[in-house]
Copies of this chain bind each other. A is one copy, B any other.
Amino acid sequence: MQPSMLESGSRDRGLEAYVTQRLRAARGALGPLGRLSTAEKNAALRAISEALWQRRAAILKANGEDVDAARREGMDDARLDRLVLSEERIRQMQEGLEAVAALPDPIGELLEYAVRPDGLRIEKLRVPIGVVAIVYESRPNVTVDAAAITLKTGNAAVLRGGSEALRSNAALVAAIHTGLEAVGAPSGAVQFIEKVERQTVDLMIRAKGLVDLAIPRGGAGLISHVGERSLVPVIETGVGNCHVYVDRAADLDMAGKIVVNAKTQRPSVCNAIETLLVHEDVAQQWLPSLAADLSARGVQLRACPQALAILGGEDQPRVRAATQEDWDTEYLGLILAVRVVQGLDAALAHIARYGTRHSEAIVTEDVSAAEVFLSEVDAAAVYHNASTRFTDGYEFGLGVEIGISTQKLHARGPMGLRELTSYKYVVRGAGHVRG
């Protein structure tokens, strides 16, 4: 009688069966994956690299179709740039695979060892987490990165990329499977969700018992959706409302370089800054020259009343009055909010209220002010006299990065191989019983 409802109902059950089957296949691969040696995992990574190159024509053809469709749909340039592949970008993926192969294998690492007074021997060993669901937007490079990092850490990946990159991702996953099969590694360890109905995300993140960890990579909307709906553990990544506080005792030349770098070197990323906080004692002398520097680089300012007065009001090009909303906004573009503060305490209060616990910096020559800032600010990375742009797995020496965690549980800041592992206690006795 209500065919649309029936259809919808049966489609849902079909989707659920489809996702469940993929998740079970990933779980099923954990055993064989766990039995691979480090050398075998590295051989698999290199085989994937080879397969990507061999199949580059098919990958670029599929990607071209995605890009054409995205252009027709009006995708903006920044997103298009992330979607587009080229031989050069496939080379970069290959380099990424080589880099992961070259890193030490964290699995099996002996984290602690104790012989208890009763002779019980307890090892704490690093182990994989299990099935990791990765939900991301239309960036095909994440497909290869995520597969490489999960493979090296003995985790099975279930990949759910954005719909605009579907053909590219499918071609990349086909190459990944070819590589795995070429060396006899379990291709089930990399599962790809090729159905892009929104509901597949929910089915993944609510599959308690089948998924050990969900990692959303993308915009704030995706991340909060996953956080709210998930029944499995989640690591939230990537939302960065980051600040630089320029103190009264700052080297103002250094401050200018840091602010320009943190805002403009790559404005679309999470570790770029969104708000500048500046001590009132130096605002008058320094803000005009900073504003000129930023304006020359195309940055628009959103200024608090005091900053606006210093900068000559809204008549100036690229200067506008800030609204309350500005303090909360991650622009991810060439806009910077500016607020004059009475001092360190006011800066700390602003950051505590509006920051997303990602990356926060102070510029000052006053060591005690710096130490208060570094100790009191609650963020994954806190900086003294350096740009927030360094919050990055490569810059921190992790070798790779699967994302930047903004939560405090399990992993904080850049996540590399170790952050995708857990541990277990292996206990050996000789008939030990508890008295």
Write the residues of chain A forming the contact surface with B, with a CB cutoff of 8 angstroms: 30-31, 34, 114, 116, 120, 122, 129-130, 208, 212-213, 227-228, 231, 233-235, 251, 254, 257-258, 260-262, 265, 374-376, 378-387, 389-391, 395-397, 407-410, 412-413, 422-434
Contacts of A386 in B (CB 8 A): 120, 427-433
Say which residue of B212, B265, B382 sits within 8 Å of A424 (CB atoms).
B382
Cβ contact within 8 Å between B390 and A426: no
Chain B nearest Cβ from A232, distance in angstroms: 9
Contacts of A387 in B (CB 8 A): 429, 432-434
Copies in the complex: 2
Cβ contact within 8 Å between A410 and B409: yes
Cβ contact within 8 Å between B425 and A409: no
Which chain B residue has the least Cβ–Cβ distance from A266?
B434
CA distance A407 to B129 in the complex (A): 9
> 27 A-B pairs, CB-CB below 8 angstroms?
A31-B376, A122-B396, A129-B409, A227-B231, A233-B409, A251-B431, A257-B431, A260-B433, A261-B433, A379-B424, A382-B426, A383-B428, A384-B427, A385-B428, A386-B429, A386-B430, A387-B432, A387-B433, A389-B434, A390-B429, A390-B432, A395-B434, A408-B422, A410-B410, A412-B423, A413-B424, A413-B425
A424 with B397: in contact, given A389-B433, A389-B434, A433-B261 (CB under 8 Å)? no
The 9 closest A-B pairs by CB, nearest first: A386-B429, A261-B433, A408-B422, A410-B410, A389-B434, A386-B432, A254-B431, A381-B425, A233-B409
Main SS class of interface, A: mixed
Chain B nearest Cβ from A385, distance in angstroms: 5
Say which residue of B34, B376, B422, B428 sits within 8 Å of A409 (CB atoms).
B422
Chain B nearest Cβ from A383, distance in angstroms: 5
Chain B nearest Cβ from A345, distance in angstroms: 11
CA distance A122 to B381 in the complex (A): 9
Q: What 14 new A-B contacts, CB under 8 Å, besides A254-B431, A390-B432, A412-B422?
A: A31-B376, A116-B395, A122-B396, A212-B409, A227-B231, A233-B408, A257-B431, A258-B433, A262-B433, A379-B424, A382-B425, A385-B428, A385-B430, A386-B430
